[in-house]
Amino acid sequence: MAKKRDHQRPAPSPDRRENQIKSSSRREKRTEAHSPSGAIKVAAFFIVSSVIAIAVYWLRQSSLLQHNRSYVYQRGLVTTDTNFQDILTENTNVSENTSIRHYTYPVLGYITPWNSLGYEMAKRFNSKFTHLSPVWYDLKSQQSSLVLEGRHNADRGWISELKKAGEALVLPRVVLEASPEELLRKKKLRNKAIDLIVTECKEMGYDGVVLESWSRWAAYGILHDPIMRSLALQFVKQLGDALHSIMSEKVSGQKLQLVYVIGPPSSEKLQPHDFGPKDLETLSKDVDGFSLMTYDFSNPHKPGPNAPLEWIQIILRILLGASANRAQNIAPKIFLGINFYGNDFSLSKDSSGGAIIGRDYLALLEKHRPALEWDKNSGEHLFFYTADKDIKHVVFYPSLKSISLRLEEARSWGCGISIWEIGQGLDYFFDLL
């Protein structure tokens, strides 16, 4: 019966035969895939595909990283092995796209009215900064009252250009020159001082202020007194509260900010006038940032590096290292000080010399064509030259390598940075930010 039915089945059409051939081919492929050799081929296929996909991904990432790398890194200029020719040739060259930020924590830049280049750098590299602080104001005693001097320094046109150029907040520096004995002890004067500062912010459209007072109070010798020290801290807290009650005109939902200037501890054993960890914790909720002056380590009487890296590390450990919780919560508010100026010290018996800025440094390189040395201990470059009357000099000035090491140190703590001051450096320093 079965044989008979076979004879009666109609012959397959050409299309059906083609389908049968394709079906047979697929069955052969499935059989091959399930065979040992077929499984190996399939596995190899997926492995090769994965390798290719990973390679493509990393090539793309590498291309992206290469694109975002700054000019100074692409050129291999961030090195201990630098020379005067490279500095003279390259110092004005920066990445075409100056809007890319390489340092993602807060960056504060100071600008001084006696150095107009800083104003230009603030506009040109605006996107590199989160805060800009023009050094404009002094709060002084005036008979039995107070006066805030400095509005004549304020440049409204420059502020307007800054707002068009980027998002950096403008917080002018205010130095408290008034006698602290009067200011801090009398509630009326404290309120007057705070009202003057807050009113100036509102009238001028500032985003807050940078307040400098601790070094002045230390010079008056009041910080040894527990009562006066408590009043000093209370004044800073009160100013912070007052500023935080005002909303910024520039940024919706942003309150006016207070950045407080603090000096580095004198030694690991804190002195009575030092701003220490307890002071930091006391003010941390009322202050938006602490501008830490980690520079001026040396002077004509003690020639040497401007800000030894090991010294910076010790300071950060003193302020932040005792408590992991403190480091985590307060470190983002520390703006580690980085100097864009250098020093030219005479090594003669009279111990003369002092600060130099970028143009002075370039002129010395051009004139003396010195061999630059790397001081591993301080993490700074230096060179020697001989001036008139055969007097030997030593020059310490920031380099791309020295700045990059300090940025790495700040980054490892999660700190911001503050630069004194942006008109004193070389153009390609900004390529690191």
> Does a structural domain hold residue 386?
no
> Does a structural domain hold residue 78?
no
> Does a structural domain hold residue 52?
no
- CB-CB contact of 211 with 259 (8 Å): yes
> Does a structural domain hold residue 111?
yes
pLDDT (tens digit, 0 to 9) for every residue of the chain, 433 residues total?
Answer: 433 333 333 333 434 333 433 333 343 434 444 445 554 544 454 454 454 444 434 433 433 344 458 999 999 999 999 999 999 999 999 999 999 999 999 999 999 999 999 999 999 999 999 999 999 999 999 988 999 999 999 999 999 999 888 999 999 999 999 999 999 999 999 999 999 999 999 999 999 999 999 999 999 999 999 999 999 999 999 999 999 999 887 777 789 999 999 999 988 899 999 999 999 999 999 999 999 999 999 999 999 999 999 999 999 999 998 655 666 789 999 999 999 999 999 998 787 899 999 999 999 999 999 999 999 999 999 999 999 889 999 999 999 999 999 999 999 999 999 999 999 999 999 999 9
> Does a structural domain hold residue 198?
yes
> Does a structural domain hold residue 289?
yes
Sign of the C-alpha dihedral computed for residues 29, 34, 36 and 40 taken in this order: positive
Q: What is the tally of structural domains in the chain?
A: 1
- CB-CB contact of 340 with 398 (8 Å): yes
Domain that holds residue 407: 102-341+401-432
> Does a structural domain hold residue 14?
no
> Strands 257-262 and 208-212: what pairing?
parallel
> Does a structural domain hold residue 122?
yes
Q: What would the DSSP string read from start to end of 228-275?
A: HHHHHHHHHHHHHHHHHTSB-SSSTTPBPEEEEEEPPPSSSS--TTS-
- CB-CB contact of 99 with 129 (8 Å): no
- Residue 302 is part of a domain; what is its CATH number? 3.20.20.80
pTM: 0.83
- CB-CB contact of 337 with 296 (8 Å): no
Residue 139, phi then psi, degrees to nearest 5 = -100, 115
* CA torsion, ordered 218, 219, 221, 225, to nearest 10 deg: -20
Rounded to the nearest 5 degrees, what angle is found at the Cα of 205, between the Cα atoms of 200 and 209?
60
